[in-house]
Copies of this chain bind each other. A is one copy, B any other.
Amino acid sequence: MKRDVLIIGAGGVAQVVAHKCAQNNDVLGAIHIASRTLSKCESILASVRDKGAMKQDGTLKAHQVDAMDTAAVAQLIRDTGAQIVINVGSAFVNAYVLDACIETGAAYIDTAIHEDPDKICETPPWYSNYEWKKRDLCAQKGVTAILGAGFDPGVVNAFARFAIDQMDSVKSIDIVDINAGDHGKYFATNFDPEINFREFTGTVYYWEDQQWKEKAMFESGRDWDLPVVGKQRAYQSGHDEVHSLAVNYPDADVRFWMGFGDHYINVFTVLKNLGLLSEQPVKTAEGLEVVPLKLVKAVLPDPASLAPGYTGKTCIGDLVKGVKDGEEVELFVYNVADHAEAYKEVGSQGISYTAGVPPVAAALLVASGAWDAGTMKNVEELDPKPFFTQLDRLGLPTRVKDARGDHPWNA
Write the residues of chain A forming the contact surface with B, with a CB cutoff of 8 angstroms.
186-187, 266-267, 270-271, 273-276, 278, 282-286, 288, 290-292, 294-300
A52 to chain B, nearest CB (A): 32
Asked if B285 contacts A295 (CB within 8 A), the reply is: no
Q: Which residues of B contact A282 (CB under 8 A)?
A: 295, 298-299
Closest beta carbon of chain B to A118's beta carbon, Å: 14
A290 to chain B, nearest CB (A): 5
Instruction: Provide 25 A-B residue pairs closer than 8 Å at the C-beta atoms, listed in order of the A residue.
Output: A186-B273, A186-B274, A187-B273, A266-B266, A270-B270, A270-B271, A274-B296, A274-B299, A275-B299, A276-B295, A278-B299, A283-B298, A284-B290, A284-B291, A284-B294, A284-B298, A285-B294, A286-B294, A288-B288, A288-B294, A290-B290, A290-B295, A290-B298, A292-B299, A295-B295
How far, in angstroms, from A282 to B295 measured CA to CA in the complex?
8
Residues of chain B lying within 8 A (CB to CB) of residue A276: 276, 295-296, 299
Cβ distance A188 to chain B, nearest Cβ, rounded Å: 10
CB-CB nearest in chain B for A273: B186
User: Which of B187, B274, B275, B291 is in CB contact (< 8 Å) with A267?
Assistant: B274
Top-4 shortest CB links A-B:
A275-B299, A270-B270, A284-B294, A284-B298
* Chain B CB within 10 A, most for which of A267, A286, A295, A296: A295
**Other than the known A276-B276, A284-B297, what 14 A-B pairs have Cβ atoms closer than 8 Å?**
A266-B266, A270-B270, A270-B271, A271-B274, A275-B299, A276-B299, A278-B299, A283-B298, A284-B294, A284-B298, A285-B297, A286-B294, A288-B290, A290-B290
Distance from A12 Cβ to chain B, minimum over Cβ atoms (Å): 15
Complex Cα gap A275–B271 (Å): 12
Residues of B within 8 A of A283 (CB): 298
Residues of B within 8 A of A300 (CB): 274
Q: Which residues of B contact A186 (CB under 8 A)?
A: 273-274
Instruction: Tell me, in angstroms, the Cα distance from A267 to B266 when the chains sit together.
Output: 9
Q: Which residues of B contact A266 (CB under 8 A)?
A: 266, 270
A282 to chain B, nearest CB (A): 5
A292 partner residues in chain B, CB cutoff 8 A: 295, 299
Chain B residue numbers with a CB within 8 Å of A299 are 274-276, 278, 282, 292
Which B-chain residue is minimally distant from A300 (CB atoms)?
B274
| Chain B, residue nearest A276 (CB) | B299
A271: chain B residues at CB < 8 Å are: 270, 274
A237 to chain B, nearest CB (A): 21
Docked Cα-Cα span, A300 to B296, in Å, equals: 15
- Smallest CB separation, A154 vs chain B (Å): 26
Question: Cβ of A295: which chain B residues have Cβ within 8 Å of it?
Answer: 276, 282, 284, 290, 292, 295
